[in-house]
Structure 1
């Protein structure tokens, strides 16, 4: 299926690994021109072919989103797609954290800064550029945990719930002006968050008295009641992001699409 993305200009945050890298690769393969945003580049990102510009940026910096959008306009003449993928544990933070009393006020501030306020600023910067092109698509990467809160990662879950609410409000305001806004809510995805040393798999392994590989292949899918019995692959999320970015999804706005292996059970 032709997603009609050829020549369209996209910004993808958190683009150097995991879901962001998969989204960047997919959009390039569909003919889009991509501004890939991350703190630093990676060999996998540099190896991608196509109209790709890497912008090193720290999204905790309030000035960064405006600079990124300015770079997209300068390099490619405008902006059609914004994928707010950067999120998860802020720099220097390891998740999961257990219990409401564990995160401090500073933990809460940092979590909201990275997972919600950075998106607010990115959208604020992107909307005028999209309106100048007659519309566009914004895809916010949220989490199934926003709709299934638990006494683990409480601050993260609350920030992502806020992101879902923000998305609904944005979709209502800007759909008449041609800008669609949707969320994609992954479940646990096989990314560095889980697999790297000191990541979620290691933390859960220490709690469960097992090893990292067993957590990834067995403990986590069972603990999170994944119907598929496995973690989600980044490409599976990227495919849905690409579809929502496409004009083929012209009547989809304000939606929250779960790509979670059956994690979310509610109707």
Structure 2
């Protein structure tokens, strides 16, 4: 990045970054037909945020010859749900960037992966109430994930135990339920 970018900050703290975890998210909106341009505009910038972070922090990781970038994705990329179209599309774009960056930075020792998180109980999701609790019943474990469980998967991806994992999306979605 040029002299105006985050990499040229005066305190240098970002230069020591060994792992970048991008967890930006906006909740799913309404279905396609009732969407307003404002909702579309809000979601269309989602892929730009991790791009700017990676652009700022990856060069130092490449220079050091190691690092891990973990993008938090969602089951909405593969499991359709009413009202999740734009949200799922932005997370699918993030998974695509994950694969591109893995190929781009992998030869320099920087691993890039995504974690597709299933329905997770957080302060932010509490506002969705019973409808969100029902989403937990739709997975094989028949419950919502706790944030600590998702954090454990992120910790694994950032660790040397995942040293040969690159360019993939790890599913932490509670498993697919049996049909029938």
Quick one: structure 1 residues 192 and 173, their matched pair in 2 at CA, closer, same or farther if it must change by over 3 Å? same
Q: Determine which of 32, 38, 48 is the counterpart of 1:117.
A: 48
* 1:201 aligned to which of 129, 138, 142: 129
Q: Does 1:105 align with 2:24?
A: no
Structure 2 Cα separation of the partners of residues 152 and 193 of structure 1: 18
CA-CA distance at 1:119 after TM superposition: 0.6
The number of residues matched between the two structures is: 174
TM-score, normalised via structure 1 length: 0.59
Structure 1 residue aligned with 2:135: 220
Conservation of the 8 A alpha-carbon contact between 1:141 and 1:184: yes
Shift of 1:116: 1.4
CA distance in 2, matches of 1:157, 1:239: 23
Decide whether aligned partners of structure 1 residues 82 and 70 sit closer, same or farther in structure 2, where only a CA change above 3 A counts. Answer: farther
Residue 235 of structure 1: aligned partner: 148
How far off is 1:169 after superposition?
A: 1.0
Q: Identify if the C-alpha distance between structure 1 residues 72 and 234 changes in structure 2 by more than 3 Å, giving closer, same or farther.
A: farther
Displacement of 1:103 in angstroms is 2.0
Q: Tell me the equivalent position of 1:84.
A: 22
In structure 2, distance between residues paired with 1:242 and 1:200: 27
Could you say what secondary structure the match of 1:192 adopts? coil
1:260 to 164, 173, 176: 173
| Equivalent runs, 1:11-30 vs 2, <5 Å | none
- Shift of residue 71, structure 1, vs aligned partner: 5.8
Query: Aligned pair in 2 of structure 1 residues 159, 263: CA closer, same or farther (>3 Å)?
Result: farther
Shift, 1:73, TM fit: 6.5
Superimposed CA distance per residue, residues 48-99 of structure 1 (whole angstroms, 9 cap, x where no aligned partner): xxxxxxxxxxxxxxxxxx53x556972375221100012133xxxxxx4332
Deviations 1:127-179 (A, max 9, x none): 11111211211000000111112331211111001111111111112111111
- Measured on the aligned residues, the alpha-carbon RMSD in Å equals 2.3
Spell out, residue by residue over 1:201-221, the C-alpha distance to the aligned partner (whole angstroms, 9 max, x if none).
26x3xxxxxxxxxx52xx332
TM-score (norm 2): 0.86
Name stretches of at least 5 consecutive residues in structure 2 with no aligned partner. none
**2:111 and 2:152 mapped to 1: Cα distance?**
17
Question: Which whole-Å CA distance do the structure 2 matches of 1:72 and 1:256 have between them?
Answer: 35
Cα 1:231–1:118 change in 2 (3 A) is: same
